[in-house]
Amino acid sequence: MFLNVTMEEGIARAELARGKVNAINEAVVDEMEACFRGLAADPAVKAVILTGRGKFFTFGFDIPEFLDYAREDFIRYLTKFTGLYTALFVFPKPLVAALNGHTIAGGCMLSLSCDWRVMVSGKSRIALNEIDFGASLFAGSVEMMRFQAGSANAEKAILSGRMYAPEEAFELGIVNEIVSEADLEMRARAKALEMASKDPAAFRSIKLLSRKDTAETMKRKERDSILEFIEIWYSENTWSRLQEKKIHS
């Protein structure tokens, strides 16, 4: 079990907890998918906070593990992972990301699917830095980045792979609040309670008016982009770069 879920005053808190960097693997994705399906269906849950543990919200994919995956298995995993962030993007209840630490690659994608991102000030970074290890992105992750930051800012972020400090991420548009570590839980709860105070049917309806077209674009483009991602992932250049990472990590 890599997801600790607690409940208080109708607010569910789902904490990723896997190793030192909360790296995402297939078991994490399966567990998150089942967990959020349950949270969506449970009438006692008014809103959800997604957070991490230690110095990481999450580092992103557990790359060493995926280097042992066969191509077909990795495609299956990527289909599940992109399906997860798409489901979170249109999650029918308020969903707040409490970014307790570094929020990298796949971790950044999960955070972009939320309705609000509160990030701790200080040394943590947030990035879609796939380009820096020679990987591409998934179409849905690009669409969510565009949704949050606008097309020009999104492109700047994904073509540079820049590791954004919290203030820079706020400026870019992908972080909504920056708080001290001591205030993170309190501020995330406050935002979740504020959103949970709205009429649930009206909230869900307005959220879908805001996001449904983007979610449909994500679904329409995802399969092709996964296949292109795979081609580049297993290309000679990128593969040798990833192997080096594995040895050094």
* Whole-Å CA distances, 161 to 9, 52, 137, 240: 39, 22, 11, 19
- Report the C-alpha gap between 242 and 248 in whole angstroms: 10
Q: Cα 24 vs. chain centroid, distance in angstroms? A: 10
Nearest-approach distance from CB 94 to a second copy, in angstroms: 8
- 194 is an interface residue for a second copy by CB under 8 A: yes
- 124 is an interface residue for a second copy by CB under 8 A: no
- 92 is an interface residue for a second copy by CB under 8 A: no
**Could you say which of 4, 6, 151, 240 contacts a second copy (CB under 8 A)?**
151
Counts for the chain of helices (H) and strands (E), in that order: 10, 9
Tell me if 226 sits within 8 A of 79, measured CB to CB: yes
| Dihedral over alpha carbons 134, 138, 141, 143 (to 10 degrees) | 120
Nearer Cβ to a second copy (84/172): 172
Backbone angles phi, psi at 18, to 5 degrees: -145, 105
- Residue 177: beta bridge partners? 118
- 167 is an interface residue for a second copy by CB under 8 A: no
Nearest-approach distance from CB 50 to a second copy, in angstroms: 17
Nearest-approach distance from CB 54 to a second copy, in angstroms: 29
- 57 is an interface residue for a second copy by CB under 8 A: no
- Does residue 178 sit in helix, strand or coil? strand
- 198 is an interface residue for a second copy by CB under 8 A: yes
- Report the C-alpha gap between 23 and 57 in whole angstroms: 9
- Report the C-alpha gap between 29 and 85 in whole angstroms: 10
Binding span for a second copy by CB under 8 A among 15-23, 74-82, 98-106, 193-201: 193-201
Binding span for a second copy by CB under 8 A among 8-16, 51-59, 63-71, 155-163: 155-163
Residues 216-235 interacting with a second copy (rule: CB under 8 A): 217, 225, 228-229, 232, 235
Tell me if 171 sits within 8 A of 181, measured CB to CB: no
Q: Which amino acid is present at 248?
A: H
Q: Is 65 a catalytic residue?
A: no
Q: Cα 9 vs. chain centroid, distance in angstroms? A: 25
Active-site entry in 9, 31, 130, 181: 130
Q: What would the x/- binding string for a second copy be over residues 16 to 55, using CB under 8 A?
A: ----------------------------------------
Binding footprint of a second copy on the chain (CB under 8 A)? 115, 130-132, 134-137, 139, 142, 146-152, 154-156, 158-161, 173, 176, 194-195, 198-199, 201-203, 205-207, 209-211, 213-214, 217, 225, 228-229, 232, 235, 237-238, 241
